[in-house]
Amino acid sequence: MKYFVVAAIFIASPAWAATLTPTEAAKHIGEQATVEGTASVYVTKGGTAFIDLGGSGRSAPFTGVIFMDKASAVPNVTSYNGKTVDISGTIKEYRGKPEIIISSQSQVTAK
């Protein structure tokens, strides 16, 4: 009977999101995770912000995206530039590259 109780606790517990490097993220499309790396931030004239981890621009292996309608939810996004940053959420694929869409400040943490 003790074994059943222990098994039930593990089954009922929420899965912890993994912390991944930017290059590992591509293997985890569709999963909840945290991706950690050095940030390179770019904000378009239209207000969409890109937080590239592990590189910059198209060569970056991972990107966090803040669309302009959510920009106020993550103020001072450029302050992350050059810092080690964690981006959490569901990893999606866009044009063959992993990304997380950021819609709240709680998804981005600078270290």
The number of distinct structural domains making up the chain is: 1
Q: Is residue 41 part of a domain?
A: yes
Q: Is residue 6 part of a domain?
A: no
Q: Is residue 5 part of a domain?
A: no
pTM, full prediction: 0.84
Residue 20 predicted with pLDDT over 90: yes
Q: Do the strands 84-90 and 97-101 form a parallel or antiparallel pair, or are they unpaired?
A: unpaired
Residue 17 has what pLDDT? 61
What are the strands, taking DSSP E only, across the chain?
18-20, 32-43, 49-53, 62-66, 84-90, 92-94, 97-101, 108-110
Q: What is the pLDDT of residues 35-85, one digit of tens each?
A: 999 999 999 999 999 999 999 999 999 999 999 999 999 999 999 999 999
Q: Is residue 61 part of a domain?
A: yes
In this structure, what CATH number is given to the domain that contains residue 101? Answer: 2.40.50.140
- Domain holding 97, by residue range, is 16-110
Q: Is residue 21 part of a domain?
A: yes
